[in-house]
Structure 1
Amino acid sequence: MTGDHRLYEALYKEFRWHVPAVFNIAEVCCGRWARQAPQRVAILYENEEGHRAQLRYGELQARANRLSHLLERLGVGPGDRVAIVMPQRFETAIAHMAVYQLGAVAMPLSMLFGPDALAYRLQDSEAKVAIADAVSVGPLRSVAGTCPALQHLVVADRAAAPGEVDWEAALARESSVYVGRATHADDPAVLIYTSGTTGPPKGALIPHRALIGNLPGFVASQNWFGFPLPQELSSPSATPADDQVFWSPADWAWTGGLMDALLPTLYFGRSIVAFHGRFNAERAFELMQRYRVTHTFLFPTALRAMMKAVPEPRRHFDLALRAIMSAGEAVGDAVFAYGQQQLGITINEMFGQTEMNYVVGNCSACWPARPGSMGRPYPGHRVAVIDDEGRECPPGTPGEVAVHRCDIHGDPDPVFFLGYWRNDGATRAKFTGDPDNSWCRTGDTAVMDEDGYLWYQGRSDDVFKVAGYRIGPSEIENCLVKHPAVANAAVVPKPDPERGALVKAYVVLAPGHTGDEALVQALQQHVRGRLAPYQYPKEIEFIDALPMTTTGKVQRRLLRLREEERVAAASSAR
């Protein structure tokens, strides 16, 4: 079932924001459901050892109430930062609800962070309390002494050491009744540190209202999650929305897992699967089959792995999927075709970032998705491609994707962050154009066509020129992945004195293939025959794994630096 352009235009033009003055994420994601449907399942948990459990909305609220009391007892008040360093598990969701309803600020931190990364964020944020489990508490203990503001470690799994707070024992002493604070929509709720291309990570301070700003994109990218389809698209055989189950491998410590999966699923009172373990392509299909997952968010890297590992999934798995959203990297037409042909799903690509999330994307149930396009501006968001001076580029002209502070009706867009934590200069630099600096730059390059579809070209710092030609790496990477020998690829410039740069490809081989000169030539011919002559990689290096961020994005910057260092070393040796 697909929509048409007229429905998109109507949805986009008629949409209006309604942001209440008083708004709290915990109340809308948990409190109201605990009162209305306390026995409804909120979280379905499973770990790598096969242990399974359920947490209902009533119990989620009761445990969050106990933790709110405990945090207050430990000295946490409105606006104070609380670090949450745990994977997908009950305690992570409980901690978020407890912090929000207390009026404090949740600072989710990845389990993958080493001591230095943890120390910087804890010191910079001046977090008062950190909440961890048996696995994550070790690195926290090693840096706690260097963080003067950090007063307490709350540890789950009965793993607390002397001087630390045992989660289970402490919560058992607290009341399960708690009256949450009536926070304003503009009050801060989350502090997420984002990695830039230069300088230390910056803390993006996210208000409660940002969840409202995320919802149109979430609903649309999940083919109208939480609602019946618009009347124009509904049918007597339409599936009811009350059986929806969501799952994503995205870490709840990041925007993709928190704002694109956990919180919006709970907002609609649905069930989300929490899997505590490493991503595995076959296991992903097993999880979706076992829990009758209807909606998911999968990174392109995950989808590529699934495509290679299970080429014909519906022959082996009984799936209930109705929507797949993907973001973080360009999906590419190879994965797009796999979704349609092998999963029966048109993958809805989405684009956003921590500072203003879920602003562009597709909704295949309501308007046509174009293979390779990251989609159109979602209702409520005014998006454009702008030049270096902040002027809107004409259709077909590459520029930087930017989001306006106000929607097309002139109303403030609630999706925006409040600013970078204690970094007013970086906050000001994020905005440009107009007399009031109303455009917020994303740092991503794209082209907008005549119909408003955006075509991703890469991070602004990932785009490079070769002999005067502008090279966007994603198109070449997508072409390489179509070859059966390639599991994944990343394209970067290699400095060259004559052309400025050469196209260099790092390739991860699919199982059963050997990286030799014959394959190099075959891959070069594969690209040369499908893209422009100047786009084929002059050099290919086989690598076991690409450097990735914890949110599933390829860190091309690290590969670029590697090439620059190699060229510099070779020059100095001559």
Structure 2
Amino acid sequence: MNQQQTQFSTLWVLVVPPHSLAPEAADGKRSSNPAFWWVNGRGNEVRWSFEELGFHSRKVANVLSDICGLQKGDRVMLILPRIPEWWLVNVACMRTGISLVLGTSQLTAKDISYRLQACKAKCIITNDMLASAVDAVASDCQFLKTKLIVSEGRRDGWLNFNELYKAQPADHICVKTKIQDPMVIYFTSGTTGSPKMAEHSQGSLGFRPVISERYWLDLTPEDMMWCLSDTGWIIASLGSVLDPWVFGSCVFVHNLPQVESATILNTLSRFPITAIFGAPTLFRMLVQHDLTSYKFMSLQHCTSGGEPLNPEVMEQWKRTTGLTICEMYGQTETGIICSVFKGMKIKPGSMGKTAPLYDAQIIDENANVLPPGQEGEIAIRIKPKRPLGLFSKYIDNPEKTASSERGNFFITGDRGTMDEEGYFWFLGRSDDIINSSGYRIGPSEVENCLDRAPAVVESAAVSSPDPLRGEVVKAFVVLSPAFSSCDLEKLRLELQEHVKKVTAPYKYPRKMEFVQELPKTITGKIKRNELRNKEWGRM
């Protein structure tokens, strides 16, 4: 076993959860599901009932309050991979009113320094993998008082999470919080400028799923939800903490240090997982395997979000598994804006309809609501009453907070259309739209066409300067290994003709470059701005 795997054989024991406090299923019987089920793929498992989850989280709350001296409103930065402690700290912060600042395990020392100084966190919780990076910058972070390490061994200057946990009593009284009190801070993964701190309140995250989120997951106590999002992002909070547990569902977690298609497919075949969420990249990876050799006995609901999923992948997944992929759309600041709900008619390429909490519209530059079919900015009505699910503000950035509003709306910065039936269609970020000879082209339109071609694994479309047209579409294309030795010039012409046939000819990429990989944010979104800046000589 490696270090990470070893710690769970000593810190946690495999338990068969007592079901006396388990939620009731629809038929009135107690659910047999645990609240939390963690595996690492090497035989180690952790299973907790809701009762046990409460027991463990109360001990962690005492670590934060009594040992670290943190109080309601203080901030603690949490950077852990998919290990049980991440979930316990989440619940413990809810109990104590401490604001949680989440980060991904892929952060560098420079990233950590910026975040610690920006959010003024008094405590950081991480593991051996990032401890040295924290130590390298801690002296510059004047607000940081306590460092907690999740590790079997000790480290100078750090408190050992495991040892402190074991010594704590399991009695803890929840701190009273108000609906507007801060709960979680996310650093947005914007493609330009330094990351911004988006603050969510107890209401926008804690109470939101009770009102709205049954619609995008529609879970019951009999369901087992597997959200494959990185622990640093809002979808991990929504899909693997708040929303499943509000409905009494089991949260399933695979340690998954590396995203491997075979591991994911084997896990779906072995465990009684009924619902999964993954980014489009995940499903693009999975459909490249022979799915007929896998049998998903329990899986019923598949959801994708983060960027558009090309219809070809949806069709192939449906054809080989019999399951539909429902798309959803949201942002760090908003949570889920719209989605394809269970039982709803699917229009391939559409993000679905507005979530119950929101009044989403397509607006113009003057904040006028546009009619169906007309392109504009996707926006959420915030006046006369601000909806509960929306973030509170960008911390220490009132100018950015103010600039995100236009008239009666919060503007997402994304462009799209809405059809007569209320379905939303994503075109791209406002600054990603390509204007060629007066034709406005959304990059996802071009990418969806290219990604349907057997030779293409994924692609990115950006504007490129052209003396005649002002700018044209250029596509950066990652080829499937089977086509890497082909005549690239011939393949380029074939792909251009393919796009012309699939969509309007003016959208085809007049320029094309074959690359080994695309630049992406740590959430997996393609950094089109980086490619665009390269084309325009702004690097």
Give the structure-2-normalised TM-score.
Answer: 0.90
Question: Which region of structure 1 is more displaced relative to structure 2, 117-126 or 510-519?
Answer: 510-519
Q: Distance in 2 between matches of 1:159 and 1:286?
A: 33
Instruction: String of CA shifts for 1:234-274, please: whole Å, max 9, x gaps.
Output: xxxxxxxx331111221121012222333211222222222
**Correspondence list, 1:51-200, <5 A:** 51-73=44-66, 74-200=68-194
For the residue of structure 2 that corresponds to 1:392, the secondary structure is: coil
Q: Distance in 1 between matches of 2:367 and 2:154?
A: 52
1:380 paired with 2:381, answer: no
Q: Report how many aligned residue pairs link the two structures.
A: 509
Instruction: String of CA shifts for 1:522-554, please: whole Å, max 9, x gaps.
Output: 111111221122111112211122122222211
Q: 1:423 maps to which residue?
A: 397
For the residue of structure 2 that corresponds to 1:36, the secondary structure is: coil
1:496 paired with 2:466, answer: yes
Aligned partner (choices 287, 291, 294) of residue 274 of structure 2: 294
Q: 1:248 maps to which residue?
A: 227
**Residues 385, 398 of structure 1: 8 Å contact kept:** yes
How has the CA–CA distance of structure 1 residues 287 and 245 changed in structure 2, closer, same or farther, with 3 Å as cutoff?
same
Aligned partner (choices 343, 356, 361) of residue 334 of structure 2: 356
For the residue of structure 1 that corresponds to 2:215, the secondary structure is: helix
Q: Distance in 1 between matches of 2:224 and 2:33?
A: 12
How has the CA–CA distance of structure 1 residues 120 and 34 changed in structure 2, closer, same or farther, with 3 Å as cutoff?
farther
For the residue of structure 2 that corresponds to 1:225, the secondary structure is: coil
1:272 paired with 2:251, answer: yes
Q: Distance in 2 between matches of 1:157 and 1:54?
A: 20
Instruction: String of CA shifts for 1:340-359, please: whole Å, max 9, x gaps.
Output: 22222222111111111112
1:471 paired with 2:456, answer: no
**Residues 217, 358 of structure 1: 8 Å contact kept:** no
Q: Distance in 2 between matches of 1:37 and 1:530?
A: 51
2:355 maps to a residue whose letter is Y
**Residues 212, 357 of structure 2: 8 Å contact kept:** no
**Correspondence list, 1:294-313, <5 A:** 294-310=274-290, 313=291
Q: 1:321 maps to which residue?
A: 299
Q: Distance in 2 between matches of 1:545 and 1:531?
A: 25
Question: Which region of structure 1 is more displaced relative to structure 2, 59-68 or 463-472?
Answer: 59-68
Q: 2:381 maps to which residue?
A: 404
Indicate the percent of aligned positions where both proteins have the same amino acid.
Answer: 30
Runs of 4 or more, structure 1, over 6 Å off, are none
2:270 maps to a residue whose letter is R
Instruction: String of CA shifts for 1:510-531, please: whole Å, max 9, x gaps.
Output: 1311252121111111112211
1:348 maps to a residue whose letter is C
For the residue of structure 2 that corresponds to 1:309, the secondary structure is: coil
Question: Which region of structure 1 is more displaced relative to structure 2, 43-52 or 475-484?
Answer: 43-52
How has the CA–CA distance of structure 1 residues 216 and 334 changed in structure 2, closer, same or farther, with 3 Å as cutoff?
farther
2:491 maps to a residue whose letter is L
Specify every segment of 5 or more residues in structure 2 that has no aligned partner in the other structure, as ranges: 1-17, 24-31
Q: 1:45 maps to which residue?
A: 38
Q: Distance in 2 between matches of 1:403 and 1:42?
A: 34
Deviation for aligned residue 1:309? 2.4
Deviation for aligned residue 1:207? 0.7
**Residues 214, 358 of structure 1: 8 Å contact kept:** no
Q: 1:551 maps to which residue?
A: 523
Q: Distance in 2 between matches of 1:523 and 1:198?
A: 30
Q: Distance in 1 between matches of 2:75 and 2:135?
A: 18
Deviation for aligned residue 1:53? 2.7
Deviation for aligned residue 1:209? 1.3
Deviation for aligned residue 1:165? 0.4
Q: 1:261 maps to which residue?
A: 240
1:188 maps to a residue whose letter is P
Q: Distance in 2 between matches of 1:191 and 1:452?
A: 32
Deviation for aligned residue 1:198? 3.5
1:440 paired with 2:410, answer: yes
For the residue of structure 1 that corresponds to 2:128, the secondary structure is: coil
**Residues 415, 428 of structure 2: 8 Å contact kept:** yes
Specify every segment of 5 or more residues in structure 1 that has no aligned partner in the other structure, as ranges: 1-32, 227-241, 570-574
For the residue of structure 2 that corresponds to 1:283, the secondary structure is: helix
**Residues 446, 499 of structure 2: 8 Å contact kept:** yes
When the two chains are superposed, the root-mean-square deviation of aligned CA atoms in Å is 2.0
**Residues 21, 50 of structure 2: 8 Å contact kept:** no
For the residue of structure 2 that corresponds to 1:209, the secondary structure is: helix
Q: Distance in 1 between matches of 2:165 and 2:215?
A: 39
Aligned partner (choices 518, 524, 534) of residue 490 of structure 2: 518
Instruction: String of CA shifts for 1:384-407, please: whole Å, max 9, x gaps.
Output: 00111111111111110001126x
1:356 maps to a residue whose letter is T
Q: Distance in 2 between matches of 1:402 and 1:541?
A: 34
Deviation for aligned residue 1:49? 4.4
Deviation for aligned residue 1:189? 0.4
Instruction: String of CA shifts for 1:449-470, please: whole Å, max 9, x gaps.
Output: 1111111101111111111110
Q: Distance in 2 between matches of 1:35 and 1:113?
A: 41
How has the CA–CA distance of structure 1 residues 84 and 97 changed in structure 2, closer, same or farther, with 3 Å as cutoff?
same
**Residues 66, 171 of structure 1: 8 Å contact kept:** yes
**Correspondence list, 1:182-221, <5 A:** 182-211=176-205, 212-214=207-209, 218-221=213-216
**Residues 213, 413 of structure 1: 8 Å contact kept:** no
Deviation for aligned residue 1:71? 1.3
Give the structure-1-normalised TM-score.
Answer: 0.85
**Residues 217, 360 of structure 1: 8 Å contact kept:** no
1:347 maps to a residue whose letter is I
Instruction: String of CA shifts for 1:408-461, please: whole Å, max 9, x gaps.
Output: xx765210111011111111111111xxxx311101000111111111101111
1:327 maps to a residue whose letter is G
Q: Distance in 2 between matches of 1:219 and 1:90?
A: 25
